[in-house]
Structure 1
Amino acid sequence: MASEESRIEDELSHPILLAERVQTAVDEAESFKLECSEVGKQVDRLSQKLRTVVRLATAAPVLYERPIRRIVAEVSKNLERALTLVRKCKRQSILRRVVTITSAADFRKLFNFLESAVGDMKWLLSLFDPDTAGNNGIELSLAPIASNDPILSWVWSFIATVQMGQLPHRIEAANELASLAQDNDRNKKIIVDEGGVSPLLKLLKEGSSPDAQIAAATALYNLAGDQEKVKAIVNEVGVPIIVQVLGDSPMRVQSHVATLVARMAEHDSISQEDFARENVIRPLVTLLSFEMFGEDQSNDQLGKQSIHSLIQINREIEKSTLAKPQSRGSSSSSDSMYRPHSNTYSSSSYSYYSEGSSRGGHHRKERENEKPHVKLQLKISCAAALWMLARGSVLNGRRITETKGLLCLAKLVEKEQGELQFNCLMTIMEITAAAESNAELRRAAFKTNSPAAKAVVDQLLRLIKEVDSPILQIPAVKSIGLLARAFPARETRVIGPLVTQLSHKDLDMGTEAAIALGKFACPDNFLCMEHSKRIIESNAIPPLMKLLRGNEHSWLHGLILLCYLALHSGNTNSLEPTRVLTVLEGADRSALPQHPELRELVSKAIYHLNLYHTGGHSQRMAFVP
């Protein structure tokens, strides 16, 4: 901090020295004395204001430097212009006078520059004195330096107030920044470039009032509209501050902060890792499960299920390694086995776990008495944050499953409706996507004897069978498909509902059902033979044939599923081999040139059906790509 103050003093000392040189040159002027005298008056005004800024800057406990540096640099340029012009008025030889001609127009131009410099300094001083400012202690006038871009002047004023003003003025200024950031991307860039992130984070962290924290969180949310702006927040060490506020704030503040977490995680995968490193999953799950479990039960379950896994994951993050997808062909019945994590303790994870149960303790009573709509909004925000954190991240998906998060999500999908139910369902879908690509997560989180896994599957099947809403049914169908390799052969309840959806009136719904069934029947699934037979026995062929007559997307995925079923059909006659063969041969002749990746798969399916249909039973074999 001392080095920063020293640099500001050095920057301010340069124009003060220039002003003294100009005054000396004015005293030595031999021509245009009247004009030089006027220059001296203007420069004296500038010098006094510069010295005032030095006093205020050195006395201020916190200082917003950006406008000071910009304005002082411009003032220095104008003082250099004045020094150059006034020195020309000193007694010179006749030849020098001819070469360097000075006119009254030069002085008129200089007066305009100096007048603008005085206006800039007057505006700058107003930032340090709220009593002289405009609306609500915020300076809303325009600095001449920013006359061509009024937004810049307002941004400077608002940021300075957030950093140096009184609390009511800081709240108002943060709200003004939030409004500007909501308007357009250019305003966001100006706010970030002019150093607005750090004061907003400071206001959020201080906890001086819930309104101040909400204003700061809203402004940061509006700024975090793309990856570049999110990185600016991360680079200001914003993630630890955000997680701390999330864990220990009033409920309405937590709701805004959770929304900010979701926004940042949505736009930047690096921030996902940073939030994971700060263990943000735990407070989010705790807030989401508020009033769902008893306090003792909640803490016990978190302790039993999450402590070792939090340690293990924390160590993995420190090594900067994310879990890699396993080979799709390596799945086997061992997916149902659980492999415990290491018992080695990490001090950082353990300390966080120890503090977690007490975080927000003094707000517990307020939370219990909070209005229902505030509680609901908090849960919606937390579910959205978990959704964005889990999206594309095996690591965060594992964290959620190793707390009570999976069971909590299943219960909310069962009991809630609207946005909260949807956010929870989308979080489950992202976790199942991570489980599909990571065998370890699949074995640990979706064991057949796991109550949480069973609860999730129950709710997914309930949505598929009982809810007539593709908005909810499509994510549920996708999730079942993503878990295809986790289901054992004896699991009979998941195939039927998916087959039923093949004939859904919504074509997208039927296509998603075909994609999900394809994950059961594809050769990468260790139990593809058993699953394919069950799909055929569930009378999937008629609706699948109808699906092939839809658009190109439904035709493509329907054809893939049909090929898998043909390859793994065995001796069953339910496949209707003659009809299926006709469809495959027609596709091979007409459409496959546009989809070369399907040519080999269709050829193998046709060969298999021809071999079976011509009666060569003893020579039959299943072709697996």
Structure 2
Amino acid sequence: MSSAAAVTSTTLPPHGVEEKTVLEELYLPILLADRVIKSAQEAESSKQDCSDLAKQLDRLSQMLRSAVRLAISTPLYDRPLRRIASEITKNLDRARTPVRKCKKHSGVFRQVFCITTIADFRKVSSLLESSIGDMKWLLSIFESDGGAHLSLPPIASNDPILAWVWSSISAVQMGQVKDRDGAANQLASLALDNDRNKKMIVEEGGIFPLLKLLKEGASAEARIAAATALFNIGNGKQRVRLIVEALETSMIVGVLGDSPIKVQISVANLVARMADLDDYAREEFMRLNVTRPLMSLLSNHLDLEVVSDKPVKTSIPSLFEMNQRLAYKNIKSNYNRDSSSHGGAHNKKRLMETPEVQLKLKVSYAEALWKLSKGSLSNSRKITEMKGLLCLATIVEREKGELQFNCLMTIMEITAVAESNADYRHAAFKPNLPGGKAVLDQLLRVIQEESDPKLQIPAIRSIGCLARTFSTRETRIMVPLVCHLGNKNVDIATEAAMALGKFACPENFNCSQHSKAIIEFNGVPPLMRLLRSGDQAQLQGLVLLCYLALNAGTSKALVQARALNALERTARSVLAQHPEMKGLVAKAIHLLIRYQAEATLSRQSLAS
């Protein structure tokens, strides 16, 4: 069995079950075939039928032995071999019954019950012919170096896709170099058709050969085909997890570091999809430090230095400004060093690519960073540690289109992580840090200058996530948010209300001052209009109004806008869908009633 131990398998057995080797799978049908042949040779009746059966069995036995020789000399794609060997074993068991009945028996009674009909032999002969056809198909694949075949084995007659999948995976694993990219493209096409095909490719052991081709493919086309196939297969969390658990995630990261630009694009798209669908994949990529090559390339050719036209001063504040400018210069040099250490020989080729291809690569890398940072404190920290905030802010300022959007979405995900982690929020978004300041400046610029809701909404949401980092003096942040409360686009107005709600909520230390600022900047009238909009707008508007009532209920603006009536009217429809808000609404109504009553008594006492 030493030779059997050398034969590897591309599929994993069920958990807790030790899978047989390929040779063990083949030994049983060979042994059964020899026994049935011997029984056929000893037949006392139906000798011609038994002789014909023995010829089929001998041919099948020779094919099984050929498969054994191949398995000993070459690691095979074993999935179809195992399935076919199992089916052959069943057919050989069926062949034993009529052959045994033809052997000599004593006693008339036993002879009567051992009569074998021609129909029995025909049925068994048909089964053996199918097994011979299966082995012929299988050996034709193995003996032609795994080249893809369009023929159909009998075992897959009811499911032609199965034969197609087997043939393509075999070609990816064992085929000639020229065949492998075509076979991978075939798997990509099959996976794109439907989920059943994706599941079949996974179950038939297609992931590992594709990952290996992605890493070791002789041509860029083959590696792109492998990445595309994996991308199409991994459109669900379960299948993404299977790719991760193949223990070859490092293959994917390695390709990002040193490969042709078009391969990097395909692999970055794969990373983005996997990170988007599975949080475990995100953490695995973090462990392998995938953010480093992504950030290094994204920052390539960015001039991150800040130039000041102000004269040099020697005061302590001016020295602080000089230190900030030096920090920017250090960031630029760090990026250049990272970029040169990861691209290898492909850096020069990258520079020779067209601007369109280079832009496509950056778009893919930015999307991968976006998906990796989603809900991941560790990945967000990695990006921040690499001074990625400054890089992202610079791209948001200078670029347009998909690249700008992906970088803005990355910022949004990072700020969402920062919102739920105070330590990270304070470390990454201090106003005096270059990266945090640059991000804030660009978020405000997008909110005020851009007209595309696709850009404005994530920018507004990011500001809301950082609400607890701003002091009461940051009026430049509050004013544009309040202005958007009256935006004609209800989605933008709703997002502004949600962001302002985070400024005014009790968890914000400065909630009272922020609430007064919202009212002072004339935020109440557009808020009243928002309460008459759709369901989500009503909900966020109601939340903000409740906070304003709790923190600044004595405001004349609230009384003049008849906030109490609006609150009671809106609450009836909102509470039916969101009963969890009942306590907040009741408290806000109670305070507004009390404040109005006190105001009435005060006016009456003054009048008397």
| TM superposition score normalised by structure 1 | 0.86
Match of 1:512 in 2: 495
Q: CA deviation at 1:532?
A: 1.0
Equivalent positions of 1:94-105 (< 5 A) are 94-105=108-119
Match of 1:546 in 2: 529
Amino acid at match of 2:148: I
Amino acid at match of 2:172: V
Cα distance between partner residues in 2 of 1:298 and 1:48:
73
List per-residue Cα deviations over 1:557-595 (Å, max 9, x = no partner). 112111211222276534445622332344467764654
Amino acid at match of 1:157: S
Q: CA deviation at 1:450?
A: 1.2
Match of 1:64 among 53, 69, 77: 77
Amino acid at match of 2:476: R
Q: Relative to 1, partners in 2 of residues 1:92 and 1:426: Cα closer, same or farther, differing over 3 Å?
A: same
Aligned length: 567
Asked if 1:395 is matched to 2:378, the reply is yes
Q: Is the 8 A contact 2:498 2:540 kept in 1?
A: yes
Q: Relative to 1, partners in 2 of residues 1:588 and 1:121: Cα closer, same or farther, differing over 3 Å?
A: closer
For structure 1, which segment, 584-593 or 356-365, has the greater mean C-alpha deviation from structure 2 after superposition? 584-593
Match of 2:5 in 1: 3
Equivalent positions of 1:57-456 (< 5 A) are 57-60=71-74, 62-93=75-106, 94-130=108-144, 137-293=147-303, 301=331, 358-456=341-439
RMSD over aligned CA atoms reads 2.6
Cα distance between partner residues in 1 of 2:178 and 2:390:
43
Amino acid at match of 2:214: L
Match of 2:49 in 1: 35
Cα distance between partner residues in 1 of 2:128 and 2:332:
67
Q: CA deviation at 1:108?
A: 0.6
Cα distance between partner residues in 2 of 1:161 and 1:216:
12
Q: CA deviation at 1:363?
A: 1.2
Q: Is the 8 A contact 1:302 1:404 kept in 2?
A: no
Q: Is the 8 A contact 2:366 2:410 kept in 1?
A: yes
Cα distance between partner residues in 1 of 2:50 and 2:454:
77
Q: Relative to 1, partners in 2 of residues 1:587 and 1:82: Cα closer, same or farther, differing over 3 Å?
A: closer
Q: CA deviation at 1:404?
A: 2.2
Amino acid at match of 2:221: D
Cα distance between partner residues in 2 of 1:485 and 1:193:
49
Cα distance between partner residues in 2 of 1:34 and 1:611:
108
SS state of the match for residue 21, structure 2? helix
Q: Relative to 1, partners in 2 of residues 1:439 and 1:22: Cα closer, same or farther, differing over 3 Å?
A: same
Percentage of matched positions with identical amino acids: 57
Match of 2:542 among 559, 582, 587: 559
SS state of the match for residue 494, structure 1? helix
Cα distance between partner residues in 1 of 2:90 and 2:387:
63
Q: Is the 8 A contact 2:304 2:331 kept in 1?
A: no
Match of 1:46 among 55, 60, 65: 60
Cα distance between partner residues in 1 of 2:134 and 2:328:
59
Cα distance between partner residues in 2 of 1:359 and 1:187:
36
Q: CA deviation at 1:359?
A: 2.5
Q: Is the 8 A contact 1:299 1:357 kept in 2?
A: no
SS state of the match for residue 562, structure 1? helix
For structure 1, which segment, 596-605 or 194-203, has the greater mean C-alpha deviation from structure 2 after superposition? 596-605
For structure 1, which segment, 601-610 or 516-525, has the greater mean C-alpha deviation from structure 2 after superposition? 601-610
For structure 1, which segment, 25-34 or 2-11, has the greater mean C-alpha deviation from structure 2 after superposition? 2-11
Amino acid at match of 2:595: Y
Q: Is the 8 A contact 2:494 2:537 kept in 1?
A: yes
Amino acid at match of 1:228: Q
Q: Is the 8 A contact 1:387 1:427 kept in 2?
A: yes
Structure 2 stretches lacking a partner, 5+ long: 8-19, 306-325, 603-608
Q: Is the 8 A contact 1:460 1:480 kept in 2?
A: yes
List per-residue Cα deviations over 1:530-551 (Å, max 9, x = no partner). 1111111110011111111112
Amino acid at match of 1:388: K
Q: Relative to 1, partners in 2 of residues 1:37 and 1:524: Cα closer, same or farther, differing over 3 Å?
A: same
Q: Is the 8 A contact 2:375 2:417 kept in 1?
A: yes
Q: Is the 8 A contact 2:340 2:347 kept in 1?
A: no
Q: Is the 8 A contact 2:304 2:332 kept in 1?
A: no
| TM superposition score normalised by structure 2 | 0.88
Match of 1:25 among 29, 39, 45: 39
Q: CA deviation at 1:367?
A: 1.2
Cα distance between partner residues in 2 of 1:77 and 1:361:
55
Amino acid at match of 2:97: T
Cα distance between partner residues in 2 of 1:564 and 1:528:
8
Amino acid at match of 1:416: E
Q: CA deviation at 1:355?
A: 9.1
Cα distance between partner residues in 1 of 2:64 and 2:571:
82
SS state of the match for residue 396, structure 1? helix
Q: CA deviation at 1:218?
A: 0.6
Structure 1 stretches lacking a partner, 5+ long: 306-353, 620-625
For structure 1, which segment, 231-240 or 214-223, has the greater mean C-alpha deviation from structure 2 after superposition? 231-240
Match of 2:318 in 1: none
Q: Is the 8 A contact 2:172 2:180 kept in 1?
A: yes
Amino acid at match of 1:270: Y
Ranked by relative contact order (alpha carbons within 8 Å, sequence separation 6 or more), the top structure is 1
Amino acid at match of 1:95: F
Cα distance between partner residues in 1 of 2:562 and 2:599:
19
SS state of the match for residue 454, structure 1? helix
Match of 1:320 in 2: none
Q: Is the 8 A contact 2:84 2:155 kept in 1?
A: yes
For structure 1, which segment, 584-593 or 115-124, has the greater mean C-alpha deviation from structure 2 after superposition? 584-593
Amino acid at match of 2:141: L
Match of 1:596 in 2: 579
Q: Relative to 1, partners in 2 of residues 1:29 and 1:187: Cα closer, same or farther, differing over 3 Å?
A: same
Cα distance between partner residues in 1 of 2:120 and 2:338:
69
Amino acid at match of 2:30: I
List per-residue Cα deviations over 1:385-436 (Å, max 9, x = no partner). 1111111112212221221211111111111122111111111111111010
Q: Is the 8 A contact 2:448 2:480 kept in 1?
A: yes
SS state of the match for residue 239, structure 2? helix
Amino acid at match of 2:448: K
For structure 1, which segment, 103-112 or 487-496, has the greater mean C-alpha deviation from structure 2 after superposition? 487-496
For structure 1, which segment, 284-293 or 426-435, has the greater mean C-alpha deviation from structure 2 after superposition? 284-293
Amino acid at match of 2:257: G
List per-residue Cα deviations over 1:57-114 (Å, max 9, x = no partner). 2111x31111111111111222222233212111112221112221000001011001
Cα distance between partner residues in 2 of 1:49 and 1:541:
85
Q: CA deviation at 1:615?
A: 4.3
Q: CA deviation at 1:173?
A: 0.5
Cα distance between partner residues in 1 of 2:170 and 2:595:
80
